[in-house]
Amino acid sequence: MKRETETYRVKYHEIDKNWKLSINSVLNYFNDVVTLENYNNPERRKYLQDNCLNWLLLKWHIRLNGQQPIFGDKITVSTWPHSMDRYYAYRKFDLAFNNETIVHASSLWLLIDIMKKKPVRINKKLIEFYQLSGEEKPIIFASNKINKSNKSSHNEFIAFDSDIDTNKHVNNAVYLRWILDSLPEKIYRDYSLNEISISYKKEVLKNEHVLVESYFEKDNHKLKLYHEIQKNNQTVVTASTSWNKT
């Protein structure tokens, strides 16, 4: 299987208030490199377009080692297909800095017919396009079951035009931004983020209102947060984040 690798220099609009690369920008880099991979394979892209097929992101699992590049640093971002199983594709991502992988991510995608809005079984031709054998084992994702014992925060957001991507719905990275923006400042002061899991259930469209609620579990030097995003009392995203005491 072939890796798609791109080198970037961290830009000002990609950093946080401490001049460090934001986690939301990391997700945007992953979105960028997987889109470049698609455009660098014109035959495969044409096959998907001609058959009205597209990949719908269902899950992220992201691990961070604590290092954060700062403004102007050079980073390398890679993605590669891992495996395919029935309707699902599994893909991995890395972000490296100073020749060390500092972020690793696994993702789950669903193949859909964009006209019928229904799942489509992955055929042999697609498996060959992605240079897989069809024998690779799928990635196992943990459940994002929400523990609602201790509420930490809740906030409301509106999906603006700038949140909408080329699929005409809120981009996957925006949900993470909503989650992180809803958290109390003391979490960022006392803890560092080291793991993220996100499951996407339904889409959010322009001008729709969402409610973000977070619940916490505290254990010595670790903090576990469970997150739920709802619109019209329906769950659209569940997520969890893990934090280490700084």
Digit-coded pLDDT (tens) for 187-233:
999 999 999 999 999 999 999 999 999 998 887 788 999 999 999 99
Q: What pLDDT is recorded for position 84?
A: 94
DSSP 35-103: HHHHHT-HHHHHHHHHTTEEEEEEEEEEEE-S---BTT-EEEEEEEEEEEETTEEEEEEEEEETTEEEE
How far apart are alpha carbons 214 and 69 in whole angstroms?
28
Q: Is pLDDT above 80 for 148?
A: no
Q: Is pLDDT above 70 for 126?
A: yes
Question: Above pLDDT 90, what percent of the chain?
Answer: 85
> Which residues have CB under 8 Å from 17's CB, separation 6+?
none
Q: Is pLDDT above 80 for 10?
A: yes
Q: In Å, how far are 8, 12, 18, 33, 94 from 21, measured between CA atoms?
A: 12, 9, 9, 17, 15
Tell me the pTM.
0.92
Q: Is pLDDT above 70 for 1?
A: no
Q: What pLDDT is recorded for position 153?
A: 80
Average pLDDT, the chain: 93
Residue written as token pair 């390398």: 76
Q: What pLDDT is recorded for position 27?
A: 96
**Alpha-helical segments (H) within the chain:** 23-39, 42-50, 124-129, 172-181, 185-190
How far apart are alpha carbons 219 and 216 in whole angstroms?
10
Three-class DSSP category at 169: coil
Q: What is the mean pLDDT of residues 9-35?
A: 96
More confident call, 242 vs 133:
242
Q: How confident is the model at residue 152 (pLDDT cuts 50, 70, 90)?
A: confident
Three-class DSSP category at 188: helix
CA nearest to 79, candidates 100, 106, 98:
106
How far apart are alpha carbons 161 and 210 in whole angstroms?
15
**Which domains, ranges and CATH numbers included, belong to the chain?**
4-129 (3.10.129.10), 151-245 (3.10.129.10)
pLDDT tens string 51-109: 999 999 999 999 999 889 999 999 999 999 999 999 999 999 999 999 999 999 999 99
Q: Is pLDDT above 80 for 40?
A: yes
Burial class (CB in 10 A: 0-12, 13-18, 19+), 67: middle
Taking the CB of residue 44, how many other CB atoms lie within 10 A of it? 16
